[in-house]
Chains A and B, each alone.
Chain A
Amino acid sequence: MTAAIEMRGIRKVFPGVVANDNVDFSVEEGEIHALVGENGAGKTTLMNVLYGLYHPEAGSIHIRGKPIHIRTNSDAIHAGIGMVHQSFKLVPSFTVTENITLGAEPTTSVFVDRKTARDNVVRISEQFGLKVDPDARIRDLPVGVQQRVEILKTLYRNADILILDEPTAVLTPQETRDLFGVIRSLVAGGKTVVFITHKLREVMEISDRVTVMRDGKVVGTKATKDTNPAELARMMVGREVLLRVKKEEASPKDVVLRLDNLKVRDDRLLMSVRGISLEVRAGEIVGVAGVEGNGQRELVEAIVGLRPAAAGSITIGGKDITHQSVRVRRESGLACVPEDRYVRGVALQASLQENLIVDSYYKQPHCGGGLLNLKEIGDFSNDAIEVFDIRTTGKDVPAFTLSGGNLQKVVLARELSSQPALLVVAQPTRGLDIGSIEFMHQRIVDARDKGAAVLLVSAELEEVMSLSDRIVVLYEGKIVGTVEAAKASEEGLGLWMAGITEGHAVPHSRGEKEALDA
């Protein structure tokens, strides 16, 4: 049997880094092939080479045994390869049909034949069981459905081999399950699927075979049934990793953070947090689960002081800080690892050292009488680099030279240096590799054990479940459920995240409704 894809000796170099080093990769006809590895292992680069977006320095590609020279993106599409990127490439104001046929519209002389276009879309979507409304506008559709449109786009262009780049990163557990159904029906319809991910649970669930990459090289390829998550994790990082966080039983003490009927508006001035009351005690981690966009961002910004509270109150350590400045809140014991690492967490153009002192530059020991104490600041920075194992050539290099994981360590080092009474952590491990995730998790638990009250907001259900002592689920700006982490099940949380409590659907907006119906 000839392989659907056969890539041999692929080498791709970016300035300063070998992204693919003599990579051999082959995919059998009709299989679901998982491609896994840490961030920066070279997975996406390899697939971009296959899809004609990058030119390799060396190596050859065969499609169904035939050598093929992929010079451009359209060569790849012509060879039957389709790719769904992490960030979708759709026009929000266009309909599903328009997006799918864009650039390859059926025409009658000079006009777009809308009816044929629509019929084609309906035919393909029925053929593979990808239910979508061909006339809905993209901006009204939930993420899971948008992804389906992306898949249809590739099918419309007659792709036989589909590359999905981390397709589950943006999905709820239910949407992920739907996606897996779609993938299975694609394979049943004769397609071949390459599935990039770094979530091992998904690999075990969906794939037939799995290829592991590390540092630009292929570590090995295994039949999924002959391997297990622990072995794959070991292959990915080259050592044993703990998939569950090691932590003792929590011993909660006094209430540190108290939210009382808090309401917050979003950028469009719509009420996004709609009355949240919550207490977080010293020495416990309270996890906030929920599909993104249900008020988490606004909640965190209101607590930190970046967004005004529309109603209700926020108290830290008994002090009402609802209308106080960020500075006053930080002085009251608040620290925060923000969601947008590259925007709020660090200033990319500033040096590592400057990034480490933004919360402490104005007070002893870093500053006296308006003058910075450069010696103290330098010692502090060097300590932080050592203690947090920040991989850098020195404290004076600009932050943009650091990798994502190391930048997050910079943020964490700074925020923990104030010995905070309250630590708010938003999406702490998004986009990080397993090694960095483990490090972050351990530090968050350490902060708890030192007596901090921790509020963890994360879209990763697994993360919330393994770190938290107590879990609340946010849906449409309200807490729809609270549960001890030990008693929580993924299934139950997933239902809450979709707005379903006690078998009844919570009233919800149109977009969410379609997500359920679809």
Chain B
Amino acid sequence: MPKSFGGILRRFVNLGLSILLAILVGSLIMLWYKRNPVEIYRLLFMSAFGSQRALFISLQRATPLIFTGMASMLAFRTGVFNVGVEGQFFIGAIMGTFVGYAVKLPMILHLPLALLTGFVAGAIWAYFPTIMRQKLGISEIVTTIMTNYIATYLVSYLVNYPMRESPTTAQTPPVKATATLTQFVEIGKGALGKGSQAHVGIFIALAVVAILYFIFKRTKLGYEWRMVGLSFPFSQFGGINLDRTFIGGMLVSGGIAGLGGAVEILGVWRKYKDLFAIGFGFRGNLAALLGRQDVIGTTVAALFYGSMEAGAMGLDWAAGIPRQLIDILVGLMIFFMAAEGMWDFLGRIKIGAASTERRTTGQES
């Protein structure tokens, strides 16, 4: 049995090996298409980290993923699989947009109201699948997937009809300046973040990370979430109210996703364009998986994923490499990491090669 330190060490080794293997397999794919993998990886790295501009683009791409990653992670940790992060993100975005353009208030009230609306909207959207599971016993995996479709088409309808501004494009009116999150390029008169739309929403994202970290480490609520996630029967036996914990975790998860949607609109887009972004929710799910459902791990994974996306955009521009390649690379990494048992297995063969391996699932008396 691994002690905690050995476990952490092995996890890092696993992560490194997974990335390495993904890069290797990715290289094979590139070679297949007669591309030079070394050159492509260099371009990828440069477009993600190679300049101040690259770093800010990475930050911009990572910001929404931190929200959706935190939302997924929180649900995972409380023992629920919230595949509905995608839909909650959209609902939060559209409601944040609405408050952004339809309400007239001073900034000090307007911006917080728009953000809060995004949070509440996401939470409400998460409430339906939650209550269906609690009252009717329907798996939240199924219902959250279904509510994603409803969210996508509902928002598409809103943008195309009631909330549409221009007859030529499906988009809402722009949000008022009092509801926007300032972009770095706007602060430093171009000294910071030139060529990117990175904005101060990243600090909101990091605040969410810090708050969740604190909740899990230090509070009664965090203990309940953690224990319910680790073992239902144990928590129930100890007297923890499973229903309340589950519903609470799901609502906060949906809220964070919705907040992320509002932040993305108010920071980057400043109006809602139909299909402005797809897949933030799913990539958040993946970041939580890559980050091993840990607050810090998921944050790092989201930042990593964001910079890979920035790199992919750079690749697309500079070398005409389709950005889907990056999705393949990240997919491979998750695949190899998920095969944790495989590393143990390989390790055991090495140890056991001199003698013999165990033949059955060991039963000790």
Query: Interface residues, chain A, CB within 8 Å of chain B?
Result: 14, 16, 19, 37, 39-45, 48, 52-55, 57, 72-73, 85-86, 165-166, 196, 304, 306, 325-327, 329-330, 336, 338, 340, 343-350, 354, 357-359, 361-362, 367, 370-372, 374, 393, 396-398, 400-401
Contact = CB atoms under 8 A, between A and B. Distances in A.
A350 B227 contact: yes
B241 A325 contact: yes
A372 B223 contact: yes
Nearest to A358: B238
25 contacts: A14-B364, A16-B1, A39-B365, A165-B365, A166-B365, A306-B237, A326-B236, A327-B240, A329-B239, A343-B231, A344-B233, A344-B234, A344-B236, A347-B231, A348-B231, A349-B230, A350-B226, A350-B227, A350-B231, A354-B227, A358-B237, A358-B240, A359-B238, A362-B220, A397-B3
B363 A48 contact: yes
A343 B223 CA distance: 18
Contacts of B221: 370
B359 interface: yes
Contacts of B218: 371-372, 374
B235 interface: yes
A196 B4 contact: no
Interface string B198-235: 00000000000000000000111111101100110111
Given A54-B358, A306-B236, A40 B365 contact: yes
A325 B244 CA distance: 13
Contacts of A53: 359-360
A246 to B, nearest CB: 29
Q: Which of B219, B237, B358 has the most CB of A within 10 A?
A: B237
A26 to B, nearest CB: 19
B355 A54 contact: no
Contacts of A396: 4
Contacts of B223: 354, 357, 361, 372
A196 B357 CA distance: 25
B237 A304 contact: yes
Contacts of A348: 231
B166 interface: no
Interface of B: 1, 3-4, 218-224, 226-227, 230-231, 233-241, 355-360, 362-365
B41 to A, nearest CB: 37
B220 A43 contact: no
Interface of A is mostly: loop
Contact of A401 (B1, B226, B234, B238): B1
Contacts of B227: 347, 350, 354, 358
A54 B241 CA distance: 45
Contacts of B364: 14, 19, 40, 44-45
A316 to B, nearest CB: 14
Contact of B1 (A57, A330, A400): A400
Contact of A346 (B226, B234, B359, B365): B234
A16 to B, nearest CB: 7
Contacts of A52: 359
Contact of B233 (A16, A340, A372, A401): A340
Contact of A54 (B219, B222, B231, B359): B359
